[in-house]
Amino acid sequence: MTTEQFWDIIAASRSDFDSNDAAGNQERQMHRLHSLLSALSPEEVMEFDRIFGDTVNKAYDWNLWGAAYLIEGGCSDDGFEYFRRWLISMGREVYEVALREPDTLADVADQPGIETTDFEEFGYVAYEVYEEKTGRELVDDMPSVPRSSLSGRLSEPAGYGWDHDDEDELRRRFPKLMAKFWEE
């Protein structure tokens, strides 16, 4: 599976997105992803999950964590993992733009149809499909390569950290997000 195919599957999983009905969009996307992955071989499902893990890890960045912190009103380690899963679920363009400029998420996070920016369950769909296809757990069959969704987190986010108590720094780094989500 190529990275292009991975993102095509993510895009196809969003085909039932309803901007007029936030309730259920994530559930519909998970069901659609399950269906799409079920049409693949176990090896392809494993490769999808490997790319998913690499994509989650690539987004392990202090600036994205700052965006998640502001959008969510706080963000733990686990919360940031689930935020990055949501970011992937939004599709390639949103993901790649956010990697370059996290402040653009101010225009995405509260769009019509967005239920939440926490999508923990999205990271488990490939595991479920693999187990249904093989009767084995994906983690048992994966090559021993450290991955975010299998082995916890990378040691340190990329970039430079931020101080959640320094409102001036947050305004400098995330002007749009601060204007939209910061509560005085």
Q: How confident is the model at residue 165 (pLDDT cuts 50, 70, 90)?
A: confident
Residues 88-111 have a mean pLDDT of 96
Q: How confident is the model at residue 154 (pLDDT cuts 50, 70, 90)?
A: low
pLDDT of residue 146: 45
- The CA dihedral of 110, 116, 120, 121, to the nearest 10 degrees, is -110
Residue with tokens 């048992």, as numbered in its chain:
140
* 3-state per-residue secondary structure call for 114-146: CCCCCCHHHHHHHHHHHHHHHCCCHHHHCCCCC
Residue 39 backbone dihedrals phi, psi, to 5 degrees: -80, -5
Classify residue 61 by its DSSP letter: B
Q: Is the Cα torsion angle 18, 99, 7, 140 positive or negative in sign?
A: negative
Residue type for position 151: S
Q: Is the Cα torsion angle 152, 61, 48, 87 positive or negative in sign?
A: positive
Residues 76-101 have a mean pLDDT of 97
pLDDT of residue 77: 93
Q: How confident is the model at residue 184 (pLDDT cuts 50, 70, 90)?
A: low
Nearby residues of 164 by Cβ (< 8 Å), 6 or more positions away: 69, 170
Check if the beta carbon of residue 180 is closer than 8 Å to that of residue 106: yes
Distance CA 11, CA 21 (A): 19
Q: How confident is the model at residue 159 (pLDDT cuts 50, 70, 90)?
A: confident
pLDDT of residue 164: 83
Residues 147-152 have a mean pLDDT of 44
Chain centroid, CA 71 distance in Å: 14
